């Protein structure tokens, strides 16, 4: 994945004078097993999963495999609505289920479920359908045309978003904090009792940084007490939830 730079006029250009480009491969993730990235622009693959869901470990593996591709940003959101089955998910937060419901509304889906994979905020596929997920990723990669560019300031305390065409209804800039790499949880209750469930790039928090209207902006990034925490910045339509672009710090 190439580094990306852009020029922002006026004060924002000064703020980004020491900035560095971004790549699509999460820090700490395993190196790509392919000779070259499949996509020049990163595709965001968001998995909604739960440790108490019997079909989720297989979907977790699908996303873990996808994370090897340096043209894919793979993120795992643990949801809490299966906790009543006997195992409280150790990574779940209520805001992750809210994000999934936002996708449900935007895509006019009847309900939410796990394992669900959302690709670039545009379409969803069951995590149980590995080949369908790969096909959907390839198709969505071809849709992005001239997205706004993202650049992180050298001190990692701010991010710049370049100019572009904002969607109807406006767009928000989000910072997604996550733990890069693999984590394994021994499940001691519920339907997956006795299993060790693997998770890749587990999301820890969501922060709305501000609004993007199509003009260049410079936004502060959230502080983290953990130096190992990764950050994905994405520009996302407020109404249709499509992700215009994303980058890793």
Residues 222 and 175 sit within 8 Å (Cβ to Cβ) = yes
Q: pLDDT-derived band of residue 9, with 50, 70 and 90 as boundaries?
A: very low
Residues 245 and 148 sit within 8 Å (Cβ to Cβ) = yes
Give the pLDDT confidence score for residue 28 in this predicted structure.
Answer: 42
Q: Is residue 15 part of a domain?
A: yes
Q: Is residue 3 part of a domain?
A: no
Q: Is residue 5 part of a domain?
A: no
Averaged over 8-24, what is the pLDDT? 41
Give the pLDDT confidence score for residue 141 in this predicted structure.
Answer: 86
Q: Is residue 48 part of a domain?
A: yes
Q: Is residue 166 part of a domain?
A: yes
Give the pLDDT confidence score for residue 177 in this predicted structure.
Answer: 96
Q: Is residue 4 part of a domain?
A: no
> The domain that contains 225 carries what CATH number?
3.40.30.10
Averaged over 118-133, what is the pLDDT? 94
Give the pLDDT confidence score for residue 155 in this predicted structure.
Answer: 80
pLDDT of residue 178 exceeding 80, the answer is: yes
Number of structural domains (the chain) is 1
Q: pLDDT-derived band of residue 130, with 50, 70 and 90 as boundaries?
A: confident
Give the pLDDT confidence score for residue 53 in this predicted structure.
Answer: 96
pLDDT of residue 240 exceeding 80, the answer is: yes
Q: Is residue 1 part of a domain?
A: no
Which residue(s) pair with 76 in the sheet?
Answer: 47, 202
Q: Is residue 2 part of a domain?
A: no
Distance CA 59, CA 45 (A): 12
Taking the model in full, what pTM does it have?
0.84
Give the pLDDT confidence score for residue 174 in this predicted structure.
Answer: 98
Parent domain of 123: 10-248
Q: Which residue has the tokens 């940084």?
A: 209
Residues 6+ apart with CB under 8 A from 231: 175, 176, 177, 178, 221, 222, 224, 248, 249
């Amino acid at each position: 994945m190439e580094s990306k730079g852009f020029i922002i006029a006026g004060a924002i250009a000064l703020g980004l004078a020491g900035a560095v480009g971004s790549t699509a491969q999460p820090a700490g993730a395993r190196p790509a097993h392919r000779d070259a990235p499949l996509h020049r622009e990163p595709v965001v693959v968001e998995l909604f999963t739960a440790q108490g869901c019997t079909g989720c470990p297989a979907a977790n593996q699908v996303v873990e495999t996808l994370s090897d591709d340096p043209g894919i940003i793979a993120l795992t959101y643990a949801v809490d609505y299966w906790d009543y089955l006997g195992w409280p998910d150790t990574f779940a937060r209520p805001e992750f289920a809210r994000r999934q419901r936002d996708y449900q509304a935007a895509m006019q889906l009847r309900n939410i479920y796990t394992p669900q994979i959302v690709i670039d905020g545009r379409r969803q596929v069951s995590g149980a359908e590995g080949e369908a997920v790969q096909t959907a990723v390839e198709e969505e990669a071809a849709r992005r045309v001239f997205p706004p560019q993202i650049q992180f300031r050298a001190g990692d305390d701010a991010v710049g978003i370049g100019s572009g065409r904002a969607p109807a209804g406006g767009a928000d800039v989000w910072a997604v904090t996550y733990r890069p790499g693999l984590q394994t949880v021994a499940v001691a209750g519920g339907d997956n009792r006795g299993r060790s469930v693997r998770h890749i790039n587990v999301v820890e928090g969501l922060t709305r940084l501000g609004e993007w209207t199509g003009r260049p902006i410079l936004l502060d990034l959230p502080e983290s007490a953990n130096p190992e925490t990764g950050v994905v910045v994405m520009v996302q339509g407020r109404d249709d939830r499509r992700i215009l672009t994303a980058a890793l710090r």
